Chain A
Amino acid sequence: MDLIFKRNKNVQVFGKRHLYVVEGRNRATDCVSADDAVAFHLVIRGDADDEDHEMPNVAEDLRGRLKRDDAGRLYVDGFLSSHPHSDHITGLRNHFHLGPPREWKEKDDKILIREMWSSPVVFRRADAEEPLGDDAKAWAKEARRRVKLFREKGSSTDEGDRILILGEDVDGKTDDILDIVIKLNETLDACNCVADGAFEARLLAPLPPEDENDEETLRHNQSSVILRFSLRGGGISDRCRYLTGGDAEVEIWKRLWKSHGKTNSDWLTYDILMPPHHCSWRSLSSDRWSDLGEKVKVDSNARNALSQTRKGAVIVASCKPIKADDDNPPHERAKREYVDILDDDADRFFCTDEYWAEKELALTFEVKSSGIVRKIGSAAALAAPALGISSTASHARPHGSEQGRRDK
């Protein structure tokens, strides 16, 4: 499986070989994958579709990685929307087929979503001050269509009609469809009805309100889906743990540590963390930087929740270059805290935009039997920016790979 991080598009989609994760606004694309992994999540901004825009074309990149089904349709096995903010779902209608699979049109050549992963609570907590955008509304409509279909047909729904509900809805609204509901703190290990051991994911959020007054606290970013993936690599289970939390802020991480810190801290362990909310300070502290500056204090519970590293863990911030300025997120103080979590090893902290600017490559981690390895790119891809030559005459011929040696 590969974990791939590029910039400026927002996608999260699941496929057989890649977990492709793109989040944030004007940010690098983030993508995660493992052998036979089963997930993708994607948001493609409008400007990412602009050919003249300086950012890489994530949609094209994604399409290049996908396979076509027997009907000739590009498809993803799954599509997770962490929350419906425009920077996390823009581009949905342009690039993905919505509606019954039979209505897919060859001339549009949109990508079929075999299974949606969606949280009704997330949508319910959108309010009048920040209404849903058109792509978010389209997502919600498609989710309702699929839920309705499940109510009619049960588990006999086809690819393109399937949906998984992440977390129970309020007032027992999902009690009649529990077969497709993943409850809080439960795990799922199948996507598009395929459970082949490629992954396991534990649903850690959105959290339920603690009392009547809590709904307000849990709106917007706080309602983001948080999943901790455990990915198989090279045939070995749990070779990589990947923690992704959308835009969840400090209150959520604080509660997670209070809930699980003593008994289930392992649920929060990771090899790769995507810092929530694009490396925002607000995920680590309730103190306002604008008021206190360097006097701000990190919330110890939130920090604990975000610092359960396994040996050699890396943190990949999906954001623009991190500077000590007022244009937040990303926040430079947050980066310092994450580097501190990594035992002050700045080489283990990556910013997707900075990586792209330096290497003109998507940041990709490959999960293999030997472990999680950053991919260095092909010779041709590296030579192009380095030597100004757009193509080369040869493929790399490494030893030890299937393709490495010619048959004698």
Chain B
Amino acid sequence: MAEEEFRSHGEQFLLAARTHAECRAGRLIEADEEGCLIELDLNVEMPIDYKVDGVSPNGVRTTETVSVRLWPDYPWSPPSFYLRSDFPRDLPHLQPGPLTELPRPCLIDGNPREYFFQFGLVELGVFHLVHQLVLWLQRAAERTLIHHGRGWEPTLRRDLSSVVAVDAEACRAAVDHNGGYRLLKARFFRSGSDNSLIGRDARIWLNVSQEHVPLKRDDNKLFMRRQQNGASSGDTICCLIWPDKLPSGGDFVAGSYMPETVDTYGGLLARAVELHCGRALRVFLDNLERCFKGFDLEAPIPIGIILCARRPCPLVGSQSNIELLPYAFEIRAMKQRSSLLSTGDNEPVVPVMQIDATNTTLLRNVSGAPLVPPVAMIGCGSVGSKMAMHLARSGATISVVSDNGSLRPHNMARHALARAEYASSKASELAKELEQLGQSPAVQQGDAVTDLAARETRKIVLPREAGYAINTTASLSVREALSALAAKDIKPRLAEAALFGRGDGGFLLVEGSSHNPTLSDLVAELYASIISPFHSLRRLLR
């Protein structure tokens, strides 16, 4: 885009921005092929007793000069707003970034481009963004960017390029009153060459499990690395750290908002100290150094760090007051090294975005489904596989999948899974699929009739922890075998589901308590009730 075109965009922007009643002045600073830089002087309304001082107690001025950057693709992209370098940083709704960069306010709860576009006219989009900025500055001065009545708003992280997927609730559950840390097994994916630096041209993805791993010098599998297609992946660890208790014995509560400005290990350590997690971080790093003593691994290995900040009130949308603040840095076990962190306190650290690992709680919350006790699936065919997948997607735990059949090409017509011709058993394939949803069901591949007859295998097919066991085998013998069991031998409540009439009809029968009536009783009743020649289901049962 020509410089003149940018200049024109800048002037149009200024015209629209100046129409806002709180915009006192504006000027075009520069326009070139990189875009356009503008400054706006905005009036910041604040309590009258602050205003008479010209500045709020936290340092927001009654007139704030804001820099606006129009990018080369403007107006197809929204303008970016930057505050002065010494603007107070201890505020929520500031985008994460190092202190060396100008602070950026987060103006929109959503996608800024969609917001910018929704007004139809570019001028209106500019006007509304300026208005959002004016409101943001006002709330910054009043320290009301967080509405504590709704809970503690977590530090902004959603636009970060590096990601950690972890079961947040499980991490929070690990936090106790004494302080400490826990090492969790993780898998990583790292983009970029070995020479690339995180935070610049390398991005990290960490999948953190809840499996605890000790740091052992003889554990050669703890840190593994494979390289392929210009990227690397492998095994590593993530250190979950929670705050030490106060000398008085009470909990340390981090009640003030801290901007996400960590970009070095020194900054991370300072942040950890602020959160009373510094001791554990130092201990962890010392142990890591000892673990690697005598070993070399030239390539960089990402390490995850999750600091747990105890907040004064529960987080928005959570019952917990523990906020997870995840970071990543890389160790390089060079031959001639003084430390795994090759540049010491200046070693780059990136804040990373935490997303929930796929688990039943997440799926239940998202789907809005009621809490269902664990379910044992007997039969993994077209009905069983679909029921199991839908139950799992709505957050129900599938405790066991039982089926002695193999998954064949003709099953693909109705089965929930799509597999190649050489797929293994239905039960094991379904279990594999369920693993993708954070489940780890037991697999029973024996004959259900004989398995139910034997006590040991019956305990696998009908586990004690299951609330329901659903027979989807469409097998008369399996139904009879289930119905013939003594009530004392059955912990879950039994149910049966089947489709018939090529899918035009179906039933779901659930036994009464204490195995009374049984599935056989219910099926008999079903047939008895539809035996009338006029009953519409009769036709389907022929």
Contact = CB atoms under 8 A, between A and B. Distances in A.
Interface string B46-57: 111111100000
Contacts, number: 130
A293 interface: no
B135 interface: yes
B93 A371 contact: no
Given A387-B16, A405-B109, A405-B316, A376 B134 contact: yes
A405 B150 contact: yes
A348 B119 contact: no
A263 interface: no
Contacts of B128: 379, 383, 392, 394, 396
B78 to A, nearest CB: 14
B136 A398 contact: yes
B20 A382 contact: yes
A189 interface: no
Contacts of B108: 397
Given A359-B21, A376-B22, A312 B49 contact: yes
B491 interface: no
Given A312-B50, A394-B115, A387 B136 contact: no
A382 B131 contact: yes
B501 to A, nearest CB: 42
B399 interface: no
Interface in B113-155: 115, 118-121, 123-124, 127-128, 131-132, 134-136, 138-139, 142-147, 149-150, 153
B92 interface: yes
B142 A370 contact: yes
Interface string A163-184: 0000000000000000000000
Contacts of B316: 405
A324 interface: no
A147 to B, nearest CB: 40
A404 B20 contact: no
Nearest to A382: B21
B45 interface: yes
A372 B109 contact: no
A370 B19 contact: no
A399 B150 contact: no
Contacts of A193: none
B110 interface: yes
Secondary structure type dominating chain B contacts: loop
- Which residue, of B48, B92, B138, has the highest number of chain A Cβ atoms within 10 A? B48
Given A389-B124, A393-B120, A348 B47 contact: no
Contact of B48 (A348, A379, A386, A407): A348
B119 A394 contact: yes
B383 interface: no
A405 B135 CA distance: 14
A310 B50 CA distance: 12
A67 interface: no
B317 interface: yes
- Which residue, of A387, A405, A406, has the highest number of chain B Cβ atoms within 10 A? A387
A399 B142 CA distance: 12
Given A377-B21, A383-B124, A406-B109, A371 B139 contact: no
Interface residues of A, number: 42
A174 B135 CA distance: 51
A55 interface: no
Contact of B127 (A314, A375, A387, A404): A387
A392 B127 CA distance: 11
A408 B317 contact: yes
B134 A383 contact: no
- Which residue, of B47, B49, B136, has the highest number of chain A Cβ atoms within 10 A? B47
B427 to A, nearest CB: 36
B135 A398 contact: yes
B21 A399 contact: no
A387 B123 contact: yes
Given A373-B142, A394-B118, A312 B48 contact: yes
Contacts of B131: 379, 382-383, 396
A121 B50 CA distance: 41
A407 B368 CA distance: 13
A186 interface: no
B48 A271 contact: yes
Nearest to B130: A379
Given A312-B48, A405-B150, A399 B127 contact: no
Interface of B: 16, 19-22, 45-52, 92-93, 106, 108-110, 115, 118-121, 123-124, 127-128, 131-132, 134-136, 138-139, 142-147, 149-150, 153, 316-317
Closest 7 CB pairs of A and B: A371-B47, A312-B48, A386-B19, A312-B49, A312-B52, A398-B135, A379-B131
10 contacts: A312-B50, A368-B142, A373-B45, A373-B138, A374-B48, A376-B45, A394-B115, A396-B131, A401-B147, A406-B110
Given A397-B109, A404-B109, 19 more contacts: A312-B50, A358-B21, A368-B144, A372-B47, A372-B48, A373-B48, A376-B22, A386-B21, A386-B127, A387-B121, A387-B123, A393-B118, A393-B119, A396-B128, A397-B110, A398-B132, A398-B136, A399-B146, A402-B150
